[in-house]
Amino acid sequence: MKKAVILYSGGLDSTTCMAIARDNGFEPYALSFSYGQRHSVELEKAREYAPLVGAKEHMVVDIDLRQMGGSALTSEIEVPKDGADQTQIPITYVPARNTIFLSFALGWAEVLGAQDIYIGVNAVDYSGYPDCRPEFIAAFQAMADLATRAGVEGNPYKIQAPLINLTKAQIIERGLALGVDYRYTHSCYDPAEDGRACGHCDSCLLRLKGFADAGSSDPVAYV
Amino acid sequence: MKKAVILYSGGLDSTTCMAIARDNGFEPYALSFSYGQRHSVELEKAREYAPLVGAKEHMVVDIDLRQMGGSALTSEIEVPKDGADQTQIPITYVPARNTIFLSFALGWAEVLGAQDIYIGVNAVDYSGYPDCRPEFIAAFQAMADLATRAGVEGNPYKIQAPLINLTKAQIIERGLALGVDYRYTHSCYDPAEDGRACGHCDSCLLRLKGFADAGSSDPVAYV
């Protein structure tokens, strides 16, 4: 079986991506990051869920983005609630995050002999993050072939972003059709101590609307 | 003064880069990585030397590339001595290393409001690393503008690789003309316990030849 590296947060999008990679015939190697998230519950859930949603291996790379500052997700800036201004890049944006994550995925892919990297970015519900757009993915792929031994030797990389043109509802419908159990996913930016989702952050609002639009209900617990 | 992020290893090339950035009117923000190098002496020297060679700030980011494997510089594979085969990509190549390093530099630049990133790659004495070539640098720069808030808002990044077409001797001549004290640089892949350079690894051989070709002598200690 061909291997693929999946950028995996334990969330709804990356879990759906993993199911799509498996459906495309790949053995998924899940890659997560401990990057100074405000709530380590995200990472605990990713470790717990990775084998349950089909990862062959799960690697967690420790990188401390907190010392760089600049984002509500990794610093003490307050997470916005109940409808951020969607016309601007939000303060939950982490500088160069997907660039950094894809770079590690590229390194691991080269070591594994994998040519495919899956990333669950989405240009519809993308919250204004510049590194979630198709033009960014295309530019990263072009760079990857020049950056690596495999690329130079004629084995091009493919950065697979299968969710990029789907709405959240379409992502959920695709996942349900592939048998994804969304109990084993976690999306909230600001969960309670016991791990339940807040229901009010951007990520919860998008997720709840997605399930509603898909005519389904979200199996995770909310406060 | 404009700020620039300098990828800084404590070595001859990145130290010369820092001097060039200062000469170009930038305030240098030096960025190093603790990435599972075989010898922590490299990082100790970088911490010691950064303020001595003009860094305004020095940030060390911890990333563990060892768990990925794949290189003699971060694993138990033996470092080649006395003239590696220069026709192949050497086993000291670390998968996606410069991509990973530049990605962090991009994140820090965005937080600092810097638009310039200096990297001391060199296409002449580049030892066959794919991520030391001009086409890689150009592709990374194109990607950076699509990846970031600053790029999207019309402030393009410039990945400065001022050594890319210089021989080692020309790099040393340039540095000496700018007043670089090469005592405060470290290049050896395989130093002795007391920090002295081995004189036989690829990096030492290139350095010694560079000083000889520049008609100068290397001020660092060898075993």
CA distance A141 to A120: 15
Question: Which residues of B fall within a CB distance of 8 Å from A67?
Answer: 59, 61
CATH of domain B2-213: 3.40.50.620
Identify the CA nearest to A9 among candidates A38, A35, A63, A46.
Answer: A46
Taking an 8 Å Cβ-Cβ cutoff, which residues of chain B contact chain A? 59, 61-65, 67-70, 89, 93-100, 102-104, 106-108, 110-111, 130-131, 133, 135-136, 139-140, 142-144, 146-149, 151-152
Residue A41's pLDDT band, with cuts at 50, 70 and 90, is: confident
Instruction: Find the closest chain A residue to B131 by CA distance.
Output: A147
Contact predicate A113/A152, CB 8 Å? no
Query: Chain B: nearest CA to A159, how far in angstroms?
Result: 14
CB A103 to CB B93 under 8 A? Answer: no
Nearest CA in chain B to A149: B130
Residue of chain B minimizing CA distance to A33:
B63
Q: How far apart are CA A145 and CA A153, in angstroms?
A: 9
Buried b (16+ CB within 10 A) or exposed e, B47-57: eebbeebbbbe
Q: Which residue of A lies nearest to B143 if distances are taken between CA atoms?
A: A139
- Residue A50: what pLDDT? 96
User: Is the pLDDT confidence value at B177 over 60?
Assistant: yes
The least confident of A171-175, A200-204, A211-215 is A200-204
A215 three-state secondary structure: coil
pLDDT tens for A61-97 read 887 776 776 554 455 445 455 554 444 455 455 678 8
CB A45 within 8 A of CB A72: no
Please give the Cα distance from B159 to B75 (Å, whole number): 29
User: Given an 8 Å threshold on Cβ–Cβ distance, is B147 in contact with A68?
Assistant: no
- Rounded to whole angstroms, the Cα distance separating B131 from A64 reads 24
For the stretch A164-185, pLDDT in tens is 999 999 999 999 999 999 999 9
Overall average pLDDT of the B51-69 stretch = 84
In terms of C-beta density within 10 A (0-12 exposed, 13-18 middle, 19 or more buried), how is residue A85 classed?
exposed
Cα B199 from chain centroid (whole Å): 19
Q: Which residues contact A131 (CB under 8 A, 6 or more apart)?
A: A96, A97, A98, A99, A121, B146, B147, B148
Q: What is the pLDDT of residue A57?
A: 92
Query: With an 8 Å Cβ cutoff, are A139 and B146 in contact?
Result: yes
A135–B147 C-beta distance less than 8 A: no
- Of B91, B92, B118, B83, residue with least CA distance to B9: B118
Q: Please provide the DSSP assignment of A115-148 as one string.
A: -EEE----SSS-TT-GGGSHHHHHHHHHHHHHHS
The residue in chain A having the minimum alpha-carbon distance to the alpha carbon of residue B134 is A146
A168: tokens are: 């959240």
Nearest to A163 by CA among A127, A130, A118, A205: A118
The pLDDT, as a whole number, for residue B86 is: 44
Per-residue pLDDT for B113 more than 50? yes
Between B194 and A78, residue with greater pLDDT? B194
Per-residue model confidence (pLDDT) at position A162 = 97
Measured between beta carbons, the chain B residues lying within 8 angstroms of A104 are 68, 96, 100
Beta-carbon separation of A63 and B62 below 8 A: yes
> What is the identity of the amino acid at A64?
D
Confidence of residue B85 (pLDDT cuts 50, 70, 90): very low
Pairing of strands B26-34, B158-160: unpaired
Distance of CA A198 to the CA centre of its chain: 19
pLDDT in tens, A106-164: 999 988 899 999 999 987 755 677 888 999 999 999 999 999 888 888 889 999 999 99
* Per-residue pLDDT reduced to its tens digit, B199-209: 998 889 989 99
**What radius of gyration, in Å, describes the C-alpha atoms of chain B?**
17
Q: Any idea which residue has 């040393």 for tokens? A: B172
Global pTM? Answer: 0.87
Which residues in B42-134 belong to E strands, given as ranges? Answer: 57-62, 116-118
Question: Which token pair is A70?
Answer: 């600049």
Q: Which residue has the higher pLDDT, A66 or B82?
A: A66
